[in-house]
Chains A and B, each alone.
Chain A
Amino acid sequence: DAGVTQSPTHLIKTRGQQVTLRCSPKSGHDTVSWYQQALGQGPQFIFQYYEEEERQRGNFPDRFSGHQFPNYSSELNVNALLLGDSALYLCASMTPNTEAFFGQGTRLTVV
C-alpha cells in the first residue's frame, strides 16, 4: 500500500498563474481533504471531497477549486496565484471517524 501520494513535491509559479496539485488517497479511503499550511501555522482546511462532490469547505476564496475522480483521487486547482498562496499543501484521506493519513505535501512557491 503506497499510502497517500501527492504530486508534484515542489513547484514554483509566477503571480497570476494557475496551478494544479494532485493526490491519490490510501487504498480503501473514499474521502479526501486538502489543507494549506503556511510557515509556522497549523494546517488550514480548504475543502473535502466525498463521492466526487465537495462536501465541506473552509474559508478560502473561489480561486481554490477541486475535483474528485471516480477512483477517489483528487486535484486542487488554484487560479490567479498570489504571493500569499505560497505554502505547503497537504492532502489527507480517511474514512468516517478514523484517523487521517497524510501525503508528503506539495511545497508551492509563488514568485
Chain B
Amino acid sequence: ILNVEQSPQSLHVQEGDSTNFTCSFPSSNFYALHWYRWETAKSPEALFVMTLNGDEKKKGRISATLNTKEGYSYLYIKGSQPEDSATYLCAFDSNYQLIWGAGTKLIIKP
C-alpha cells in the first residue's frame, strides 16, 4: 500500500515568520510529486509539480524541494501572510494515480 504522510498536521505561524512542512512518499514508482493549496470553500489549487530529484521550484514567497531517493519534499513559505492560511496538500504521482497526504493546515496569526 502506497502511503503519503505530511507533517505537521496543523501549524500556527505568526504573520511575517517563515515556515516549512514535510511530505514523505514512497521512493519507488515515482513519476512526480504535486503540491496543492486548498483554501476553505475553494477548489484545490496546484502550486508545483516536481519530477526531478533535487528539483527546487519557487512561486513568489513559496518554494519547494524534492528528494526522490529518500522520499521527501519540503514546502517553504517565507514571510507568512494571512492569505497563506490554507491546507497544503501533497500528492505522489504514481503512473497517473495521485496518492494524497492528509494535508498540513496552516493558520497565520496576525
- CB-CB nearest in chain A for B35: A99
Chain A contacts for B32, CB-based, 8 A: 97
Interface size class of A (residues with CB under 8 A): 20 to 34
Grouping DSSP codes into helix (H, G, I), strand (E, B) and loop, the B interface class, with mixed when no group exceeds half, is strand
- The contact string, 1 if C-beta is below 8 Å from chain A, for chain B 36-75, is 1000001111100101000000000000000000000000
**Residues of A contacting B99 with CB < 8 Å?**
45
Is B43 within 8 A of A97, CB to CB?
no
Which of chain A's residues 31-80 have a Cβ closer than 8 Å to chain B?
Answer: 31, 33, 35, 41-45, 48, 50, 55-56, 58
Please name all residues of chain A whose beta carbon is closer than 8 Å to the beta carbon of B98 when the two chains form the complex. Answer: 33, 45, 92, 100
Give chain A interface residues in 91-105, CB to chain B under 8 Å.
92, 96-105
In the bound complex, CA of A42 to CA of B6 (Å): 10
In the complex, whether B102 has a CB less than 8 A from a CB of chain A is yes
Q: List 7 A-B contacts (CB under 8 A).
A: A4-B43, A43-B89, A45-B97, A97-B32, A97-B51, A99-B34, A101-B46
Q: List residues of chain A with CB under 8 Å of any chain B CB.
A: 4, 31, 33, 35, 41-45, 48, 50, 55-56, 58, 90, 92, 96-105
| B interface with A by C-beta (< 8 Å) | 6, 31-32, 34, 36, 42-46, 49, 51, 89, 91, 93, 95-103
Q: A43-B44, A100-B44 are in contact. List 10 more A-B contacts (CB 8 A).
A: A31-B96, A33-B98, A42-B89, A42-B103, A44-B100, A56-B95, A98-B49, A99-B34, A99-B49, A100-B91
